Amino acid sequence: MSYVKDQLVPGYKAKFVIHSHDASRLHWDLRLEFPVDSLKDALKSYDEKRVWKKTTEPQPKFHDKQQTVLRSWAIPKHMLPEKKPLLATETEDHDINYINFKGAIPEGQYGAGTVEIYDKGTFELVDVDYDKKYVIKFNGKKVKGVYALIKTSQKKFLWIKVKNKKSSSEQIIDDVLFPFCL
């Protein structure tokens, strides 16, 4: 993916949305606004999976300038990781206009089902090891505080609630992962 790595550093601020998506299974979609070099390249997979005449989803408008997309993860447990880490599986990037989308994706479409907004707001990257770890301070109506996305394999991440203000990898391992490694 062509995310703009030199912008994804501590202090980067942008928008987020968490969708409640009742598709083949009820789950959440966590979406973070990330800058990309090429919107067309970033949204290729998203665009290929949809029949635009049959859906109410926001259709991407491609420009040649650098833009942002919603980098997305499916959270199958439909909950926040307050007490234990949750699996977060990366899915295709979505158009930034998806941040306000709610409605029904019709049968026969990829992701068919009802989409509601659980929460949205802003986030700030607190600590980053590009594409391996993102420590994120969320400022939403329902989701507040510091969480981490830790990559475990190609498209798999753990979504973790960070208990302390410290955001180092060692603190995340001590506070969250260590109890599960025993």
Do the beta carbons of residue 42 and residue 93 sit within 8 Å? Answer: yes
* Parent domain of 17: 13-181
How confident is the model at residue 181, as a pLDDT? 43
* Distance in Å from the first CA to the final CA of the chain: 35
Q: How many domains does the chain have?
A: 1
Asked if the structure places residue 1 within a domain, the reply is: no
Asked if the structure places residue 137 within a domain, the reply is: yes
Alpha helices in 33-149 (DSSP H): 39-42, 44-48
According to DSSP, residue 42 is labeled H
Asked if the structure places residue 34 within a domain, the reply is: yes
Do the beta carbons of residue 93 and residue 45 sit within 8 Å? Answer: yes
How much is the pTM?
0.80
Asked if the structure places residue 8 within a domain, the reply is: no
Asked if the structure places residue 117 within a domain, the reply is: yes
Pull the structure tokens for residue 58: 């926001």
Asked if the structure places residue 155 within a domain, the reply is: yes
- H or E element: which one contains 170? helix 169-172
pLDDT tens-digit series, residues 119-173: 999 999 999 999 899 999 999 999 999 999 999 998 999 999 998 655 455 555 5
Using CB atoms within 10 Å of the CB of residue 87, give its burial: 0 to 12 exposed, 13 to 18 middle, 19+ buried. middle
pLDDT tens-digit series, residues 35-47: 987 666 666 655 5
Asked if the structure places residue 103 within a domain, the reply is: yes
Asked if the structure places residue 4 within a domain, the reply is: no
- H or E element: which one contains 14? strand 13-22
